[in-house]
Amino acid sequence: MSEPLPLAGIRVVEFSHMVMGPTCGLVLADLGAEVIKVEPPGPGDRTRALTSSGTGFFAAFNRNKKSVQLDTADAAEREVLLRLIDTADVVVENFRPGALDARGLGYDALSQRNPRLVYCSLKGFLRGPYEHRTALDEVVQMMSGLAVMTGPPGRPLRAGAPVNDMMGGMFGAIAVLAALRQRDGTGGEGTGRGQHVQSGLFENAAFLVSTHMLQQAITGVAPPPMPAGGRAWGVYDVFNAADGAQIFIGVVTERQWQIFTAALGAPALLDSAYATNTERARARPTLIPLVQSILGQRPVAELEELCERAGLPFARINAPGDLLDDPHLNAEGGMLPLLLPDGRPTRVPALPIQFGEDRLGVRRGLPQPGEHTAEIRAELSAEPPPRPDRG
């Protein structure tokens, strides 16, 4: 960005691992905050060593951060950490309830030292009967009904990405931004004090299924899983093209239906049984095979061109790896350059936001374990400058 980044001058100390906490820290870091990731001595954050479906976790969520290694069980190193937190605006943590409190690093203790501190806890559950349970993204997908809505009937299935961890981290970042705004205000109207904010995985999953909950509240009938459920629109499905590729096409208005049928030029689609969207939705058992028989005669590129020209919603079915070469993402800063820990270059999606014509970029790559420990220790051992009053 050509302008100063929105969170320039904000210091964040991040105690986190896996996905939820690092996602929160990533949002703040990309927005310009100085995010200092505290890792244990030795190999550092255990997320660095994950394999299989966790292989990409560290690389995805830890750009634009510094790394320091401090042992929170060691009294001398904990004192260094406390001095660091004294200089911070925000602490982000996603450890089990009470884990940091036991080491004098909970909100109550830290806010006594630094009353302006915004302390963000990313947890499995917010306050209530479940708050001391251990949660995972998969756990709350099962509890919330999200897995039931994702899989076919009788086969609950987790979503194909850590959606609650990532979205929960985003809500944590939103809470941090709101608390900073409340602290600092404008024209001297801020409170001048930080506060403890929290984001919960289970509550996030409940938020994700709120439309299904309200569908049941309104109709009195439990919604069927998405793979088996009725669609509100007649043509809203995945179709096979002549060359074996797959494409999703949605026709969701009467005008779009007119455009769709005119573009295909198939008289069978003009049958009165398909005259309105309500009738088309009811007739899906015959309509979808009919549309498939028509679309299946054309290659996917021709179907894409037809839909784009007609202004119809469509999407070729891609795998995640296909996005590395997606022309749209790569055209205007939607993919960021990143060096993997072994030095190989790759690209990673930027935050999905834009400021005017600008996207948020990479200011620093993935940190090595403890890469910035000496820098931060040297700063803390120097004569501390007066802390600016941002209120």
Q: In this structure, are residues 287 and 251 in contact, taking their beta carbons and an 8 Å threshold?
A: no
**Domain at 303, CATH number:** 3.30.1540.10
Q: Is the dihedral of CA 108, 111, 112, 113 positive or negative?
A: positive
Q: Is there a single domain that holds both residue 65 and residue 149?
A: yes
* Mean pLDDT confidence for 323-352: 95
CA-to-CA distance for 234 and 387, rounded, in angstroms?
Answer: 62
Q: Is there a single domain that holds both residue 193 and residue 267?
A: no
Structure tokens at 75: 């009294």
Q: How confident is the model at residue 382 (pLDDT cuts 50, 70, 90)?
A: confident
Q: Is there a single domain that holds both residue 273 and residue 147?
A: no
Q: Which of 195, 183, 179, 196 is nearest to 390 (CA)?
A: 183
Q: Is there a single domain that holds both residue 267 and residue 370?
A: no
Task: Sheet containing 90-93: give its strands across.
Answer: 65-69, 34-39, 11-15, 90-93, 118-123, 196-200
Which pLDDT tens digit goes with each residue over 212-243? 999 999 999 999 998 886 778 899 999 999 99
- Residue in the block written with tokens 């850590």: 162
Q: Is there a single domain that holds both residue 17 and residue 92?
A: yes
Give the count of domains, the chain: 2
Q: How confident is the model at residue 336 (pLDDT cuts 50, 70, 90)?
A: very high
The whole-model pTM stands at 0.91
pLDDT greater than 60 at residue 391: no
- Residue in the block written with tokens 């100063």: 4
- Residue 350 included in any domain: no
* Mean pLDDT confidence for 56-75: 95
Residues spanned by the domain of 148: 11-209+361-381
CA-to-CA distance for 305 and 281, rounded, in angstroms?
Answer: 25
CA-to-CA distance for 133 and 124, rounded, in angstroms?
Answer: 7
- Residue 215 included in any domain: no
Mean pLDDT across the chain, nearest whole number? Answer: 93
Query: What pLDDT was estimated at residue 96?
Result: 86
DSSP letter for each residue of 300-367: HHHHHHHHHHHT--EEE---GGGGGG-HHHHHTTSEEEEE-TTS-EEEEEPPS--BTTB----SS-PP
CA-to-CA distance for 25 and 177, rounded, in angstroms?
Answer: 12
* Mean pLDDT confidence for 253-265: 94
Query: What pLDDT was estimated at residue 390?
Result: 44
Q: Is there a single domain that holds both residue 116 and residue 71?
A: yes
Q: Where are the alpha helices (DSSP H) in the chain?
A: 20-30, 57-61, 75-86, 107-113, 137-144, 146-150, 163-184, 201-208, 210-219, 254-264, 277-282, 284-295, 300-310, 327-331, 373-381
Q: Is the dihedral of CA 143, 145, 150, 156 positive or negative?
A: positive
CA-to-CA distance for 168 and 136, rounded, in angstroms?
Answer: 12
Q: Which of 93, 96, 94 is nearest to 133 (CA)?
A: 96
Which pLDDT tens digit goes with each residue over 34-48? 999 999 999 999 999
Which pLDDT tens digit goes with each residue over 283-325? 999 999 999 999 999 999 999 999 999 999 999 999 999 999 9
Q: Is there a single domain that holds both residue 46 and residue 184?
A: yes
Q: How confident is the model at residue 383 (pLDDT cuts 50, 70, 90)?
A: low
- Residue 37 included in any domain: yes
